[in-house]
Amino acid sequence: MPQVNFVRNLINVFGLTALAAGSLCAQTGAFGSGLYQVMEKAMCRNCHNRDGVASATRLHFPPQDSSSEKIEAFGNSLVVLVDRAHPEQSLLFQKPTMRIPHTGGERIKPGSPEELLLKGWIDHLAQLSGPDLAAAMKY
């Protein structure tokens, strides 16, 4: 019986390691298949559009029928909402998780896998430089 428990524990450790590795890959993957889907599910678009309640903010979703290139460019343009020196203080992180007041309420639950994707994307944006940063700022 001890050998069965050892094997079971070993399988659990490998399973958790694979799950963690998958989460890390998702953090640095394409915006359109990662955080964009989280933001769509959280219904951020309902307010953050040119005619929405949040139209005065810097965050405006592209039209729903946008190309994948346009969605990726939008994802990179979110760099304007990132505090590159202190990513955890970024508006892009603080508002949807309600760490600071957000008229739209909590859209991403702290401690969730969705928050992990958000953190990963913010870290990615905080590291943009050179031509990549310049392109992101032109969106």
Which pLDDT tens digit goes with each residue over 64-120?
A: 999 999 999 999 999 999 999 999 999 999 999 999 999 999 999 999 999 999 999
Q: Exposed, middle or buried, 79 (CB in 10 Å: 0-12/13-18/19+)?
A: buried
Q: What is the pLDDT of residues 41-51, one digit of tens each?
A: 999 999 999 99
Measured CA to CA in angstroms, residue 70 lies from 102, 134, 137, 139 at distances of 26, 16, 14, 9
Provide the pLDDT for residue 5: 53
**What number of helices (H) and strands (E) belong to the chain?**
6, 0
Token pair of 2 as six digits: 């001890």
Mean pLDDT of the chain: 86
Which residues, 6 or more positions from 115, have their beta carbon under 8 angstroms from its beta carbon?
Answer: 97, 108, 109
Question: What integer is the mean pLDDT of 54-72?
Answer: 95
Which residues, 6 or more positions from 129, have their beta carbon under 8 angstroms from its beta carbon?
Answer: none
Has residue 14 got a pLDDT over 60?
no
